Structure 1
Amino acid sequence: MKHLKQYRIPFSGLNAGKHNFEFDINKKFFDCYEHSIVKDGNLKAEVELQKQENLLILHFDIQGEIQLTCDTCLKEFMSPISIQERILVKFTDEDWTDNTEEVLILSKSDHELDIAELLYEYINLAVPYIVKCEEQGQGIQCDPEMLALFTSEPDSEEQKEEEIIDPRWEALRNIKNN
Structure 2
Amino acid sequence: MKYLKQYRIPFSGLAAGKHDFEFEINDKFFDCYEHSLVKKGNLTSNVSLQKQETMLIVNFTIDGTIKLNCDVCLTEFDAPVSFQERLIVKFVNEEWDSETDEVIILNKTDHELDIANLLYEYINVQVPYYAKCTEQGINISCDPEMLAKINIEEKSDIEEEKIDPRWAALKNIKNN
Q: CA deviation at 1:154?
A: 2.1
Q: Deviation digits for residues 117-157 of structure 1, max 9, x if unmatched?
A: 110011011111211110111100001111111110329xx
**Matching residue's letter, 1:2:** K
For the residues of structure 2 that align with 1:62 and 1:19, how far apart are their CA atoms? 17
The size of the alignment, in residue pairs, is 170
Q: Greater CA radius of gyration, 1 or 2?
A: 1
Give the aligned CA root-mean-square deviation in angstroms: 2.2
**Matching residue's letter, 1:154:** S
CA gap of 1:150–1:105, structure 2 versus 1, over 3 A, is same
**Matching residue's letter, 1:62:** I
Aligned residues: percent identity? 62
Q: Say whether residues 1:123 and 2:123 are aligned partners.
A: yes
- Which blocks of at least 5 consecutive residues in structure 1 are unaligned? none
- Which blocks of at least 5 consecutive residues in structure 2 are unaligned? none
> In the alignment, what sits opposite 2:41?
41
> In the alignment, what sits opposite 1:154?
156
> In the alignment, what sits opposite 2:3?
3
Q: CA deviation at 1:175?
A: 9.2
TM-score w.r.t. length of structure 1 = 0.87
> In the alignment, what sits opposite 1:111?
111
**Matching residue's letter, 2:125:** L
TM-score w.r.t. length of structure 2 = 0.88
For the residues of structure 1 that align with 2:53 and 2:41, how far apart are their CA atoms? 36
For the residues of structure 2 that align with 1:89 and 1:24, how far apart are their CA atoms? 22
> In the alignment, what sits opposite 1:78?
78
**Matching residue's letter, 1:61:** T
